[in-house]
Amino acid sequence: MCGIFCVYNYHGDTSKYRQRALDLSKRVRHRGPDWSGCIVTENSIFCHERLAIVGIDTGAQPLTNDDETIVLTVNGEIYNHKKLEAELKTPVKFKTHSDCEVILHTYSEIGTDVCAKLDGMFSWALLDRRTQPARLVAARDPIGITTLYLGRVSAHPDTVYISSELKSLNEECDQIEEFPPGHYFDSTDGQFHRYFKPDWWVPERIATAPVNYRDLRLALTAAVRKRLMAEVPYGVLLSGGLDSSLISSIAVREAARISANAQSDAEDVDTRGARYFPRMHSFSVGLPGAPDLIAARKVAKFLKTAHHEFTYTVQEGHDAVADVIYHLETYDVTTVRASTPMYLMSRKIKSTGVKMVLSGEGSDEVFGGYLYFHYAPSADEFHKETVKRVHNLHTSDCLRANKSTMAWGLEARVPFLDKEFLQVAMNVRPEDKLCSKEIMEKAIIRRAFDVDFADAGFTPEELAQGPYLPRDVLWRQKEQFSDGVGYSWIDSLKEWAASSVSDEAMAGAKERFPYDTPETKEAYLYRQIFEQHFPQKACLASVVRWVPRTDWGCSADPSGRAQKIHEQAY
């Protein structure tokens, strides 16, 4: 992935504004440290900060067609680029080996319908100079795995700013909104248009399909396989929890299968990564002795990965919080707690030479894995909550995974949010997803990979390959990342906030922060730091706080240990 910054229909002299645009683009250069590009045409400026993962020799951006009437800048990975290239009606000589160039040529043939055809994670902006005035089209992936913002200046409402992160817009624009996932923006009418319209998207439509364990397993396996596309060293984030462990196990199996098959070029998916780098590297982080470190060690040994275990101290974590909030561009308590160790780990991963990792985000939203789901009052309400959580992933876990890693030019890919996998998993009836005292959360995805579960539908050949994971890991209770890195981590943050925010300050929180008033000292502390970086009122609009369903009778504390069902509840 990369960083993009664009100004469309600039109201002044673009030649004079070019250096300012470059300076604003530089603020997202951490996302793309490998190369920078800029195209100025008429009254628009397109900038790009590149992280080279695919097409590393020829993939510099912005991209243009032969007569330069279309300009494109992309942050993302298009997993079905080979398939889309084969579907082009007019043969085109590609200028690069990048997976993203196909967007330009497909748009040239079918316009904005290209958005729904893309299988991947992406944010992009395209300038079509074939029309008068020139047309801006920008789009964001269906779930919002990549980040994107749109800004305007009230004095010049026809000028549109597009950026991967808030920090490139906060001094320039007095109106900023997060670009909605699954939409494209069209300057022709100045509106967002939803292109992602799966049948499961409406919460009120309750899924009715009985679980098919084999379909779940095959769909997740395919999702992992296509995400092995790379020309650089890559690995897996391995916390030792169910989700990251499953992704790691599948990745190891698929990488071995691909590297053993020299004919894999015939596939629709790009499998270069597994053939170039067949040995899987795994990475974990935590305070010394953390539950996740112990579990990850066991999984790595089981999978025979090249394992890298990183530790940090409480003080190192506290010292990083201000930088984390700057990169995250949020003050949400849950996100800051979990992002700090991920941010620290990403820096160490980048130092190893690895530039891309697979991660397990999304499973808890899809399958109702958070412990508060045990309190769901009915199957229908359980289902509605999973759909709403998927809707809001771009404000929490996707934001964390994207910005914590991209702060160091490391790309994170998330197989659980694959479009085709979601189509299978989100249509499973909620009765099959429910958890209780007798049924562990996310039981159906555990069973789908449990070779001892008779109804999973494994073939004799698959059974001969052995278990995916040690049984105690496959059936390990949900441990939220901010808990799993060490139980003292969250406790230390609360203690730090208690000593940093006075009772008097907390009593005046409503006056100090009349909008979205913090309710705890920890929330107050993060809000203070956020406003030091982003004092403009426009920067508040994109922040959403993650909280459990207190109306279900569970604790408002977002920590998993705050729920009574947790084995180590406090």
Instruction: Just list the catalytic residues.
Output: 2
Within a 10 A sphere around the Cβ of 299, how many other Cβ atoms?
A: 27
Q: Could you tell me if 180 and 193 are in contact, meaning their C-beta atoms sit under 8 angstroms apart?
A: no
Rounded Cα–Cα distance for residues 467 and 452 (Å): 8
Compute the Cα dihedral for 406, 409, 415, 419 and give only its sign: positive
Torsion of CA 411, 295, 373, 364, to 10 degrees: 20
Rounded Cα–Cα distance for residues 79 and 141 (Å): 12
Q: What pairs with residue 48 in β-bridges? A: 4, 37
Compute the Cα dihedral for 539, 544, 546, 548 and give only its sign: positive
Q: What pairs with residue 429 in β-bridges? A: none
Find, among 563, 489, 463, the residue nearest to 287 by Cα.
489
For strand 356-358 and strand 411-413, is the pairing parallel, antiparallel, or unpaired?
A: parallel
CA distances from 99 to 28, 85, 407 (A): 21, 10, 23
For strand 120-128 and strand 70-78, is the pairing parallel, antiparallel, or unpaired?
A: antiparallel
Through-space distance between the first and last CA atoms of the chain, rounded to whole angstroms? 40
Q: Could you tell me if 237 and 358 are in contact, meaning their C-beta atoms sit under 8 angstroms apart?
A: yes
CA distances from 286 to 44, 350, 540, 548 (A): 46, 17, 31, 24
Q: Could you tell me if 330 and 318 are in contact, meaning their C-beta atoms sit under 8 angstroms apart?
A: no
Compute the Cα dihedral for 388, 391, 392, 393 and give only its sign: positive
At residue 547, φ and ψ (nearest 5 deg) are: -140, 150
Rounded Cα–Cα distance for residues 163 and 166 (Å): 7
Alpha helices in 413-545 (DSSP H): 419-425, 443-448, 460-464, 471-474, 481-484, 487-500, 503-507, 509-512, 521-533
Q: Which element (helix H / strand E) includes 237? A: strand 234-237
